[in-house]
Structure 1
């Protein structure tokens, strides 16, 4: 194979039900529709006309009763709108991250947290909660420890023995185990009456602490990390070939993996710092997107972002409406993700690409 035209995805593998131009456009726009619906759903009802009136500064819809307006504004602007935007940003980031990781490892069972960024960021935030509670320094510390862990992983993976993908994977497993032990230590020394319940609940994942800072951080990380991965989409296609073939096409596999790991680390650490540990999204969503649009990464990555955003929005709505007390997101994503992954396995027979 000589020349960049050597890698092509056959037309019949371009996509499934959303493979057409209009279907693909609808898929990409679906998170905005789900986000709009999520504003009206919750334990406190908000009617369409009241919400539209509040969102458009009084130009559309019917105004709420004067006695209800302050409460509706609080529900809409301090709860549902920030949570919905944060779910959009984090879900899109986790979808792109998962699809990119499955590409660089050529393994459909790989998720973005496999290289240790999740437990490292969890250790940082848990330590911050221990000293400062839920505050900006806690989130910043989680973000920093998550990035430091990926620097350690990339440093350890420079050992030039065996398959570089396997070395990178083992480096991530070692790093993740180390930081998981540190998380356990933080929980062990935490005050069982105050700090320990807060750390434990946060580790299960929630968007309840959505704030202007977390929204800005999630938006910037999605713009930077997601933008880098989207720009590398064609090169990720080449990684489906062997490393020797990729080199012959002008793609350096190890350098590309390092850039992808750095971009994914930015997305994962932001997600953990902003919302705790939310599993299964980065593993399940890329498979759903792949079934809809096929394996070509220039179509797959935007589709994974769209499916991830819609998925997390729906899960967050369920988390805050199913019971009187909010259900942690990590519980719901596992309850949906595990059987969902089994259904995908049965439907595809293990043929993911």
Structure 2
């Protein structure tokens, strides 16, 4: 649980520091990561050529680059970079929201079963040999279905507490994990099973410009919804009694926040597969930078999440001759980092 000691330290840090230098640093890092992602890969594109290809629709002039280079920039790397930014921002924002609502720094976007539900939906779609848009749709719908089942079970148990909701999420996640195992067991081991396994390990290699159109607007709307409720979520993250004293409807705000975070998780997982640690580690980085104030924490967490996942995706597709699964790379980087965070903060959490 996030303690008052940690909160007071964060609030003092938030009051002392203006945010514009941090935003400037993050945007510079983000710009550098985008440039690096454009020019890095199995088909290297020189930075100047990539910039000229990108600006050609505006500036015109002589196109003295190959058609392959133009295809790589517009059809492969641009949607992949944008997808990494959207998915990273979504998972980080969802993790930040869950940690605030549940008042627990160890909570991740998978807590209510959305990730496991999306994994089952995508696995089933791959088993049925649906198109990529069908895989995305099934993953998104199944992730939302899993979280709805968690909410119904939690309500049926009657207590209405957050602990009950978390326990219901564990039950639903276990069921969907078992269903994924069943799909893997009956899948063709030479054809379908490798596709399912690779998707479950996370990747952005199949995302295209059309997919960005499908997920971009809903992600923007969900982020805007969470930001619109930032003050209410901030109060609710401190104490239920304080929220009631200030006239905040705890049930309504919790429902809106959890629904927004769940949709963000389902949208992200539907295009990237299971990418762990982003929604758990990045909120801690953001909290270290700006403190626990949700008003400041949410946008910084979203920016940091996009930057983190873009860096991990660039590493995944450039560190070896064959692309590494994105979820493997985020786990290799995120797990040791989180162990360090736990070691430094254990006195104030437990």
* Structure 2: stretches of 5+ with no match in the other structure: 1-6
For 2:61 and 2:296, the matched residues in 1 are separated by 41
Find the aligned partners of 1:127 and 1:136 in 2 and give their Cα distance. Answer: 13
After superposition, what is the alpha-carbon deviation per residue over 1:276-319, rounded to whole angstroms, capped at 9, x for unaligned?
10000000000001111111111100000010000000000001
For residues 73-105 of structure 1, what are the alpha-carbon distances to aligned partners after superposition, in whole Å with 9 as ceiling and x for unaligned?
A: 121111111100000111111111110000010
Measured in 1, the distance between the counterparts of 2:15 and 2:33 equals 23
Residue 248 (str. 1) matches residue 245 (str. 2)? yes
How far residue 217 of structure 1 moved from its aligned partner, in angstroms, is: 2.6
Q: Is the 8 A contact 2:10 2:287 kept in 1?
A: no
Q: Tell me how far 1:12 sits from its aligned partner.
A: 1.6
Map Cα deviations across residues 138-191 of structure 1 (whole Å, 9 max, x no partner).
Answer: 211111111111221222222475461111111111111111111111111101
Name the stretch that deviates more: 287-296 or 162-171. 162-171
2:120 aligned residue: 123
Contact 2:76 2:208 in 1 (8 A): no
**Scaled by the length of structure 2, what TM-score is found?**
0.91
Question: Which residue is equivalent to 1:4?
Answer: none
Q: What SS is found at the alignment partner of 1:306?
A: helix
Distance 1:146 1:305 in 2: 21
Q: 2:146 aligns with which of 143, 146, 149?
A: 149
Q: CA RMSD in A?
A: 2.4
Note closer, same or farther for the CA distance 1:306–1:229 as it changes in structure 2 (3 Å cut).
Answer: same
What is aligned with 2:268?
A: 271
Residue 84 of structure 1: which of 81, 85, 107 is its match?
Answer: 81
Task: Using the TM superposition, name which of 29-38 and 203-212 deviates more.
Answer: 29-38
Map of 1:23 onto structure 2? 21
Which stretches in structure 1 are left out of the alignment for 5+ residues? 1-6
Closer/same/farther in 2, CA of residues 322 and 61 from structure 1, 3 Å limit: farther
Correspondence 1:94 to 2:91: yes
* Larger deviation, residues 165-174 vs 341-350: 341-350
Paired residues, what number?
A: 343
Tell me the residue number matched to 1:287: 284
**Matched position secondary structure for 1:14:** helix
Work out whether residues 11 and 292 of structure 2, in 8 Å CA contact, stay in contact via their aligned partners in 1.
no
Q: 1:312-336: CA deviations, max 9, x gaps? A: 0000000110111100011000000
Which residue of 2 is the match for residue 55 of structure 1? 54
- Kindly state the Cα deviation for residue 11 of structure 1 after the two structures are TM-superposed: 5.1
> 1:209-260: per-residue Cα shift (whole Å, max 9, x none)?
1112321233123212111111111112112333222111111222222111
Matched, 1:332 2:329: yes
The aligned residue for residue 182 of structure 1 is: 179
1:169 alignment counterpart: 166
Answer whether contact 2:11 2:291 (CA < 8 A) is retained. Answer: no
8 A contact 1:15–1:295 mirrored in 2: no
Deviation track 1:189-210 (CA, whole Å, cap 9, x = no partner) reads 1011100111001110000011
Flag the 1:244–1:74 CA change in 2: closer, same or farther, 3 A: same
Runs (4+) of structure 1 exceeding 6 A deviation are 7-10, 58-64
Judged with a 3 Å threshold, the aligned counterparts in structure 2 of structure 1 residues 35 and 166 are, in CA distance, closer, same or farther, namely same
Equivalent of 1:216 in 205, 213, 235: 213
Q: Is the 8 A contact 2:75 2:209 kept in 1?
A: no
Which residue of structure 1 aligns with residue 3 of structure 2? Answer: none
| Alpha-carbon distance between aligned partners in 1 of 2:126 and 2:156, rounded to the nearest angstrom | 36
Residue 345 of structure 1 deviates from its aligned partner by 2.2
Contact 2:38 2:77 in 1 (8 A): yes
Q: 1:239 to 1:253 in 2, by over 3 A?
A: same
Once the two structures are overlaid, the 10-residue window that deviates more, 243-252 or 169-178, is 243-252
Query: Map of 1:224-239 to 2, 5 A cutoff?
Result: 224-239=221-236
8 A Cα contact 2:154 2:164, kept in partner: yes
Mapped pair 1:40 → 2:17: no
